Amino acid sequence: MSNQDDTAKPGQWGPPYLLYLGNAPDDLAIKTARGLAYWRPHWCIGQHRRTGCKPTLGLREMGMAEAKAEGANTMVIGTANAGGVMGPEIVADIITALDAGLHVVAGLHQKLRENPDIVAAAQRNGRMLFDARDPAPGIPVGSGRPRDGHRLLTVGTDCSVGKMYTTLAIERALRRRNVKANFRATGQTGIFIAGSGVPIDAVVADFISGGIEWISPARFDGGWDLIEGQGSLFHPSYAGVSLGLLHGAQPDALVLCHEPTRPHMRGLPGYPLPDLQRCLAANLVAARLTNPAVKAIGVALNTSGIPAEQAEALCAQTSRLLGLPCQDPVTMGVESIVDNLLACFVN
């Protein structure tokens, strides 16, 4: 299923979606559902919340049977919790959805297929289960061999600073200019949005770079593969996956993503965020192993916690500091970043 399909083929998971929010305590806990609702709103016909759920997507509240009657094909578990586990309430709701005739997909670390009650419900109803954090078999070891085509990778000062949003915004902006561009998903939310991808944080370390080579093979049409970044070279927990992405992507272009209001690395109060210049320099050095000609072409700031005037001033200041266009992809777009990308890589 490509990232432009509007419907699933018979018997396959896919849109239209019912987004499951369960008992999520805050907005961060529903980032998967929120990403789908933002980037593919025409796919999302409703949300299902339990009584204790605090956040909302503003979609129509629906039960599973009601959603099926309204045309839903799949229920997406749009929540994330510590450890990525399914509690008894989630399991019960998944079984209800399967009995209502919906496929179910999830991006949790605990797999749908690991629960015998869920598997039994899927089998008796002829429904599909899809675990986004379940890499396809046969991913090769990375070769590092140069390959044709253009590739852009988003990198970050930390986790969850807007790499997926930035990558998708660049895809949309390039397509509006009639430039061929394809979003290459590396996380569970991106996989649900694109309909395909590789869950790179679930790939055995030796195969991370190979997984990225696999989802962004050589291309000869002048278009761009836009690869969703993960983690940060400066995050002690997740630097490994970030380095594998840099090597496997062989990026021609890098966009640095940053959230300026964050007080420390996510989940690690003892680790401050890196200086932007130092972070960008480190990513360029690492990327040069497989593409010595890599260039930084822009900076994307997540300014959601900053007043608009202050955000504009900060983007201008960052642009002067790094000598690169800087924008918030959500509130400002990415047109100046794309301008620079196309100016740097004239076919």
Query: Alpha helices of 100-162 — where are they, by DSSP H?
Result: 116-125
Which tens digit of pLDDT belongs to each residue from 85-134? 788 899 999 999 999 999 999 988 889 999 999 999 999 999 999 998 88
Q: pLDDT (tens digit, 9 = 90+) per residue, 176-215?
A: 999 999 999 999 889 989 888 999 988 999 999 999 999 9
Give the pLDDT confidence score for residue 110 in this predicted structure. 85
Q: Is the pLDDT of residue 83 over 70?
A: no
If pLDDT is split at 50, 70 and 90, which confidence band does 2 have?
very low
- Report d(CA 261, CA 15) in Å as an integer: 35
As given in the structure block, the two tokens for residue 261 are 């209001």
pLDDT at 11: 62
User: Can you give the pLDDT at residue 87?
Assistant: 84
In order of 20, 162, 232, the CA distances from 302 in angstroms are 26, 6, 15
CA contacts within 13 A on the Cβ side of 218: 6
pLDDT of residue 127: 95
Average pLDDT (61-69) is 96
Residues near 65 by beta carbon (within 8 Å), at least 6 away in sequence: 100
DSSP 268: B
The confidence score (pLDDT) of residue 4 equals 43
Burial class of residue 237, CB neighbours in 10 A (0-12, 13-18, 19+): middle
Full set of structural domains in the chain with CATH: 17-131 (3.40.50.720), 150-344 (3.40.50.300)
Q: Tell me what the mean pLDDT of segment 135-159 comes to.
A: 94
Cα–Cα distances in Å, from 38 out to 32, 164, 165, 171, 205? Answer: 10, 12, 9, 15, 31
In the chain, the percentage of residues whose pLDDT exceeds 70 is: 95
The mean pLDDT value for 72-91 works out to 84
For residue 305 the two structure tokens come to 């916690």
Q: Tell me, what's the pLDDT at 10? A: 56
Beta bridge partners of 221: none
List, for residues 37-56, the tens digit of each pLDDT value: 999 999 999 999 998 899 99
Q: What is the mean pLDDT of the chain?
A: 92
> DSSP class of residue 110?
S
Q: Of 147, 344, 138, which is closest to residue 248 (Cα–Cα)?
A: 147
Alpha carbon dihedral 323, 324, 325, 328, in 10-degree steps, equals -110
Q: How far apart are the first and last CA of the chain?
A: 29
Q: Which helix (H) or strand (E) holds 258?
A: strand 253-258
Say if residues 157 and 322 touch (Cβ distance below 8 Å).
Answer: no
For residues 28 and 2, is the Cβ–Cβ distance under 8 A? no
pLDDT at 329: 97
Q: Among candidates 131, 125, 128, 71, which has minimal Cα distance to 100?
A: 125
pLDDT, tens digit, 9 for 90 and up, residues 292-319: 999 999 999 999 999 999 999 999 999 9
The answer for 7, left when phi > 0, alpha when psi is -120 to 50, beta otherwise, is beta
For 120, the token pair is: 């039994």
| Confidence at residue 81, expressed as pLDDT on a 0 to 100 scale | 66
Segment 152-172 mean pLDDT: 96
pLDDT at 84: 66
Cα separation of 40 and 30, whole Å? 15
What the block records as the tokens of 97 is 């959805």
**What tokens appear for 145 in the block?**
């061999």
Give residue 75's pLDDT: 97
DSSP H or E segment with residue 44? strand 44-49
